[in-house]
Amino acid sequence: MMQIAHCLTRFCLATLALVVVGLAPVLTTAVCAIAQDDIRVSIGSPTTPFSQNKQNEPALAVDAAHPNILAAGANDEIDMEACNAGADNTCPFTQGVGDSGIYFSFDSGHTWTQPTYSGWTARDCLGVVGSSDLPCSPHVGPISTLLRYYENGLVSDGDPALAFGPRPGSDGTFSWANGSRLYYANLTSNFFTNKRDETLKGTEGIAVSRTDNVAAAAAGMPSAWMDPVIASKQSAITFSDKDQIWADNAATSPFFGYVYVCAVSARAGFAAPLVVARSTDGGDTWTQKQLTNASGNPFNPVQGVGRSGCTVRTDSNGVVYVLANQFAVGLPGFGSHILVKSFDGGHTWTRPLKIGLAVDTCFLVQFDGDFFRCVMDGIAGARDDLSSAPSIDIANGAPTGADATNLIVRTWVDGRDGVNHEHVLFSSSSNGGNNWTAPLAVESSGDRGYYSAIAISPNGTDAYLVYNAFTTVLRNDTTSPRDLVGVVKHADVSGSTVAAWSDLHRGATGDPRGSSQNNLWLEFLGDYVYAVATRTYGAAVWNDTRNAAECPAIDAWRAAAQDAVQNGTAVPTEPAPQQDCPATFGNSDIYGGSFADPTP
């Protein structure tokens, strides 16, 4: 059965306060059938109630051998319980219910399909007004997130990362002639709370799901997916986080088909080394290497408070590049990007090399119900943990590797010029990351960059850059409107020369006050945006709040709660979102676009 969802898109052509100085069969399938300048990717997810209407942290991958095929992922709470289940002013993550959403496009990103499978669900736990109803009782039923997790004693916990690579043959060798394999990495935890039943050591690990038949997966066929495999090396105190995945997709590489997952492996205290897990057999088995020291010290200018926000790519010769953010001492911090490389398919790695300054955009710190968070749009704003982390891509000539230039492009958001002057920066390297061009600010006038991502065509002729930005200054209240927008840019590339960046698309604005953490304390927009590039087009996905309704009751409570924490007084009782807010409060979406090369 197919459910058709029309996409309401608009194209916009118009242009406390602790201030810190310095840091089953197919059930339904939703298909979007309108191709416009941008389009809702998370089209099967509802507009109400909260938190089922909450999506963020999008990821995107393109099949180099079939560039019309895209897959996207996001944190998607479609299968969670509603706030009215149990106490009406609590909106918890439901125990055992996954939130790693999956979406497919077979026309280069002009339309999207969000499949429905069967798994552990609470989407029918809607509750009733008042707190007298019984707590939610999850059960087997429809899900629109990754499947085969609860059956394997696991939960899919978001932080999605996707990559296409060649499929291994029966002899273990990789070839595009065998077909393509989609890898989906995400955080995972134990389904069971009883330690004797645990599948995974530690709090959070990284699991990788795979499919060799994206058409069947998009149609909701469970048999299209393999069981998830734990890729991270876990101990009882490990919290793996902020994963990214890449498959070596250029046939000229001696390590063609190898798959790499980078992440931070947080442990006790400030220990949080950067690690990479690699698979040489198509994701069946994984081995992990530690790339940086494990120790971290917020008072040590060498160690800092660790690293995170990694990205991983390969060039046409199979060299693996892992970049990450080295956090600074102090806030906002003058941190750096570090580069680690492997020349032997991930067996050994170079020492971390600092390649340039990366300044945090932490100018306001707010309490989020558990600890303090950096925000950059104002009181009770959206957390800003990793905006200065690097995003890179390499013109590696995939799928053949024959026309590679191996130019590396990099973007990040940077606060070196202070509050309300945050930049989206761009830099490139034509010699394997040994040297980089001077950072160039590429944001449009009035845009305060929030997160950015970059892609370059395999033959190195076109670059595409996407970012989220606030177009309003940092707010000292929760009553003034705030604007969030998604922007896509393009630049022609010739050899190592990148021409001026021009706007391809500017999405509709939305008020991020209409987004929310599940605990209601702050807005929530996640940590990522994403871009891919082919020889004929670029595609991007971003966080979007155009359909989210701001809630005055929540605004007032958030301001009062921050004041209470700052003054050491009692925090007032939070509102009940389904009673005290507009129906579409919390309705953050994933939007995206497909953009033909404007200068073919």
Q: What is the pLDDT of residues 399-441, one digit of tens each?
A: 999 999 999 999 999 999 999 999 999 999 999 999 999 999 9
- Cα(510)–Cα(487) distance, integer angstroms: 13
* HSE of 183, CA atoms in CB hemisphere, 13 A: 32
DSSP string over 420-477? T--EEEEEEESSTTSS-PPPEE-PPTT-EEEEEEEEE-TTSSEEEEEEEEE-SPPBSS
pLDDT of residue 529 exceeding 90, the answer is yes
Q: At residue 504, what is the residue type?
A: L
pLDDT tens digit sequence for 182-217: 999 999 999 987 766 789 999 999 999 999 999 999
Q: How far is residue 269's CA from residue 571's CA, in Å, rounded to a whole number?
A: 29
| More confident of the two residues 16 and 431 | 431
pLDDT tens digits, 478-510: 999 999 999 999 999 999 999 999 999 999 999
8 Å CB contact between 510 and 548: yes
pLDDT above 90: residue 290: yes
Q: Residue by residue, what is the 3-state secondary structure of 305-323?
A: CCEEEEEEEECCCCCEEEE
Structure tokens at 487: 């922007």
Q: Which two tokens mark 84?
A: 């009215």
CA distance 393 to 346: 18
Is beta strand 408-414 parallel, antiparallel or unpaired with respect to 391-394? antiparallel
pTM, two decimal places: 0.93
The CA distance from 400 to 244, in Å, is 23
The mean pLDDT value for 453-465 works out to: 98
Where along the chain do its domains lie? 361-593
Average pLDDT of the chain to the nearest whole number: 91
130: confidence class by pLDDT, cuts 50, 70, 90: confident
Q: CA 24, 39, 98, 186: dihedral to nearest 10 degrees?
A: 110
- DSSP codes of every residue in 476-537: SSSSS---EEEEEEEEEEETTEE---EEEEEB--B-GGG---TTSSS----S--EEEE-SSE
Q: What are phi and psi of 223, to 5 degrees?
A: -65, -10
